[in-house]
């Protein structure tokens, strides 16, 4: 059970036990494409370089019609690893001949994860479907996350100029790049 705000009738208050048996672990690996505001995501067993390379390959396939992909992320060890940089270098050496986009890295400064725009999307997702929840299993949680991102992507495909106010109105700041945005929820630093 996760705590959170809940609108309910007067009477007994909902209690979230301090100690609970785990139902499982879930790591969402995601990327936010800024020009169309589309989220690409999958589930990982670990946060590591192998999963970042997997995301890189997925993005190259998804955006094969583009000339260049710019990846911007924080200074987490799996984002700045030698193995990932080597894979990007190998890809770029053959990209033009294979008619695939080049990949460029635009890293955020160390200690500035609050500038990472996808943190705002994660914050909105957490507020909409994780906080105040009690999913019976990891699979049910995955289904809720998949539905959230599917609905969010569809809304932005249909109305690319509007941020939308259905279930994604809970982002801390608009999911656009701006120097003054603090995208990461300060409670989770």
From first to last of the 189 residues of the chain, give the pLDDT tens digit.
Answer: 566 666 667 777 766 667 777 778 899 999 998 888 899 999 999 999 999 999 999 999 999 999 999 998 887 888 889 999 999 999 999 998 999 999 999 888 877 767 778 888 888 898 888 877 788 899 999 999 999 999 999 988 988 754 434 434 556 666 666 666 666 666 654
The pLDDT score that the predictor gives to residue 23 is 73
Please tell me the distance from the alpha carbon of residue 53 to that of residue 123, in angstroms, as a whole number: 24
**Per-residue DSSP letter, 166:** S
The pLDDT score that the predictor gives to residue 153 is 93
pTM of the entire predicted model: 0.73
The pLDDT score that the predictor gives to residue 165 is 42
Enclosing H/E stretch for 41: strand 38-44
Q: Which among 153, 188, 185 is positioned nearest to 171, based on CA atoms? A: 185
């Amino acid at each position: 059970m996760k705590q959170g705000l809940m609108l309910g009738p007067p009477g007994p208050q909902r209690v979230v036990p301090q100690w609970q048996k785990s139902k499982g672990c879930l790591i969402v690996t995601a990327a936010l494409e800024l020009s169309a505001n589309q989220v690409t995501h999958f589930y990982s067993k670990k946060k590591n370089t192998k999963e970042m390379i997997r995301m890189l390959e997925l993005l190259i396939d998804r955006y094969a019609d583009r000339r260049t992909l710019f990846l911007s992320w924080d200074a987490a060890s799996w984002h700045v690893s030698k193995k990932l940089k080597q894979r990007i270098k190998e890809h770029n050496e053959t990209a033009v001949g294979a008619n695939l986009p080049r990949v460029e890295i635009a890293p955020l400064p160390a200690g500035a994860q609050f500038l990472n725009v996808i943190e705002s999307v994660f914050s909105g997702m957490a507020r909409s479907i994780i906080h105040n929840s009690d999913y019976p299993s990891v699979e049910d949680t995955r289904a809720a996350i998949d539905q959230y991102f599917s609905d969010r992507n569809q809304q932005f495909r249909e109305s690319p100029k509007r941020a939308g106010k259905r279930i994604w109105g809970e982002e801390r700041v608009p999911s656009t790049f701006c120097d003054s945005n603090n995208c990461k929820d300060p409670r989770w630093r």
